[in-house]
Amino acid sequence: MTEGRLTRRALIAGAGTTALAAPALAKLGGGMIDLALPGGPSLRPTTPDFPGKREMIVQRIRPPLLEAPMEAFREGVITPNDRHFVRWNWAMPTEVKAGEHRVAVGGAVKKAVSLTLDEIAAAGEHVSIVAVNQCAGNGRGLSTPRVTGTQWGNGAMACAKWTGVRLRDVLAKAGGISPRAKRVRFAGLDVPLTDGAPQFIKSLPTQMAQSNDVLVAWAMNDEPLSILHGFPLRIVVPGWFSTYWVKMLSTIEVLEHEDESHYMADTYRWPKVPVTPESKDFPTAPITAMPPRSFITSHADGDTVTKGTPLTLEGLAFGGDKGLAKVELVGDGWSVPCELGPDEHGPYAFRRWSVTLPNVSGNLTGIGAKSTNANGLSQPDALVWNPSGYARNVIERITLVAQ
Ligand SMILES: Nc1nc2c(c(=O)[nH]1)N[C@H]1C(S)=C(S)[C@@H](COP(=O)(O)O)O[C@H]1N2
Ligand SMILES: [Mo]
């Protein structure tokens, strides 16, 4: 019943979503925030003026790059939609008519089709998955030495419940894919701002595309996707970085060859070997699965705590493409196990953790949360530097001053 209603709301009833009016930088209401980026200008404006958003950090106005302040992660494990970060590579249409929207499914399929939203909604079982959406460049601005790209703090991540149908059920509407299929590629309605620049298209290996958890989704936390988040449909790839989560989905193309397009072959890749800023001509591979990460959310760097009393620290963590096995609080040469909150939402979701230290005897210098996932993958002590600052998952450390 709920799903029926949702589908109607998200896909059928809507004649479209009205124009997205991006505020002008000069007119932004809001304040400033210091992202404490080590290598460069660290202050950013904040604004509540984007539609459907509370106060967000403005990394860029057009196309919008909006980061969530870390306070958004203090409570709960689902990030509210009005605090979900936003990222577009190119300008997106500011109006989409649901009734006219089609998804073309073609390439190496039995019979190319063009599907309405109703047909997508009827393609298979409706599935909801709670999963972390995280930009591959999340936390990049904290890299030392500095790297190029959007200088995000750690707020280019969010956890939401995504609802849609399985991508493989949508592919089945085209009579199935070629046995020689190698990749399934996605495009959205957004187009490059400059002539001749490459369109933002991304592809998954066929096996991944056909897995249980990859969705063509229309809802985020039981709300239809907003324009900013890709109305009317987006790809959701739980466990993988959000570069694959193509928004405003309009084309699905099955390839019998490797994908040589720009955003697969030239960018969103990272070194297969350890590199330094001086390294040249090293082999690279596409960024795919996310590694585990964790954050202290109860305290910020430089906060004061009371000497001679117990101290409870809290935070959140996620395992990446596998569930969490454990979270520890680590300091200089010590570690204590943390208590993991309930596994409410499955392996791809945020989870809370907490730990109580029996007695604060002095400053807590360079403490951080360290998570390990069910594959045994742990967060490293030192940054694994790479030229684009992708996949940051070094232990994030803070210092608390005892008074
Ligand atoms: N159509 C389209 N989809 C896209 C992008 C884009 O530029 N165009 N950017 C991708 C990247 S790099 C990220 S980080 C996520 C951001 O998703 P969000 O804005 O819903 O948080 O969208 C992905 N999907
Ligand atoms: Mo991204």
Q: Report how far ligand 2's centroid is from the alpha carbon of 150 (Å).
A: 9
Which has the higher per-residue pLDDT, 103 or 17?
103
Report pLDDT for 101: 97
Residue nearest to atom 15 of ligand 1 (CA): 242
> pLDDT tens digits for 198-240?
999 999 999 999 999 999 999 999 999 999 999 999 999 999 9
Confidence grade of residue 26 (pLDDT, cut at 50, 70, 90)? low
Looking at the predicted structure, is the pLDDT value of residue 22 above 80? no
Q: Determine the Cα–Cα distance for residues 336 and 356; give it in Å rounded to an integer.
A: 10
Report pLDDT for 9: 45
Q: List Cα–Cα distances, 317 to 81, 129, 229, 343, in angstroms.
A: 19, 17, 23, 11
Report pLDDT for 39: 81
Confidence grade of residue 5 (pLDDT, cut at 50, 70, 90)? very low
Looking at the predicted structure, is the pLDDT value of residue 33 above 80? yes
> pLDDT tens digits for 64-87?
999 999 999 999 999 999 999 999
Report pLDDT for 23: 64
Q: Determine the Cα–Cα distance for residues 20 and 95; give it in Å rounded to an integer.
A: 7
Decide: 87 and 156 in contact? Cβ < 8 Å. Answer: yes
Confidence grade of residue 30 (pLDDT, cut at 50, 70, 90)? confident
Q: Report how far ligand 1's centroid is from the alpha carbon of 308 (Å).
A: 47
Q: Determine the Cα–Cα distance for residues 28 and 22; give it in Å rounded to an integer.
A: 10
Residues sharing a CB contact under 8 Å with residue 62, sequence separation 6 or more, in sequence order: 22, 91
Cβ of 82: how many Cβ atoms within 10 Å? 16
Per CATH, the number for 293-402 is 2.60.40.650
Report pLDDT for 20: 65
Q: Which atom of ligand 1 is nearest to 241's Cα?
A: 14
Q: Report how far ligand 1's centroid is from the alpha carbon of 203 (Å).
A: 13
Q: What is the pTM of this model?
A: 0.95
Every domain of the chain with CATH number 3.90.420.10 lies at 98-133+160-286
Q: Round the average pLDDT of the chain to a whole number and report it.
A: 93
Q: Report how far ligand 1's centroid is from the alpha carbon of 234 (Å).
A: 9
Judged by DSSP in three states, 32 sits in strand
Tell whether omega for the bond before 232 is within 30 degrees of 0, i.e. cis.
Answer: yes
Report pLDDT for 11: 47
> pLDDT tens digits for 273-282?
999 999 999 9
Looking at the predicted structure, is the pLDDT value of residue 248 above 60? yes
Rg for the chain, CA atoms, rounded: 22
Q: Which atom of ligand 1 is nearest to 84's Cα?
A: 21
Judged by DSSP in three states, 215 sits in strand
Report pLDDT for 244: 98
Dihedral sign, Cα of residue 253, residue 268, residue 168, residue 250: negative
Looking at the predicted structure, is the pLDDT value of residue 269 above 70? yes
Q: Which residues of 166-205 are buried (b: 16+ CB within 10 A; e: fewer)?
A: bbbbbbbbbeebeeebbbbbbbbbbeeeeeeeeebbbbbb
Average pLDDT (291-319) is: 98
List for the chain the helix, strand, coil content (%; round to 5).
15, 35, 55
Question: Going edge to edge, which strands form the sheet with 397-402?
Answer: 304-305, 397-402, 364-373, 324-330, 335-337
Looking at the predicted structure, is the pLDDT value of residue 305 above 90? yes
Report pLDDT for 21: 63
Decide: 290 and 320 in contact? Cβ < 8 Å. Answer: yes
Residue with tokens 């890709």: 230
Q: Which atom of ligand 1 is nearest to 137's Cα?
A: 14
Report pLDDT for 6: 41
36, two tokens: 């404490």
Average pLDDT (74-101) is: 95
Every domain of the chain with CATH number 2.60.40.650 lies at 293-402
Report pLDDT for 24: 62
HSE on the CB side for 84, CA within 13 Å? 27
Q: Report how far ligand 2's centroid is from the alpha carbon of 288 (Å).
A: 12
Using CB distances shorter than 6 Å, the residues near ligand 1 are: 84-90, 133, 135, 188, 190, 200, 229, 242-243, 245-248
Report pLDDT for 18: 40
Write down the architecture of domain 98-133+160-286 according to CATH: Alpha-Beta Complex (3.90)
Tell me how long the chain is: 403
Percent of the chain scored above 90 by pLDDT?
89
Decide: 361 and 144 in contact? Cβ < 8 Å. Answer: no
Looking at the predicted structure, is the pLDDT value of residue 104 above 60? yes
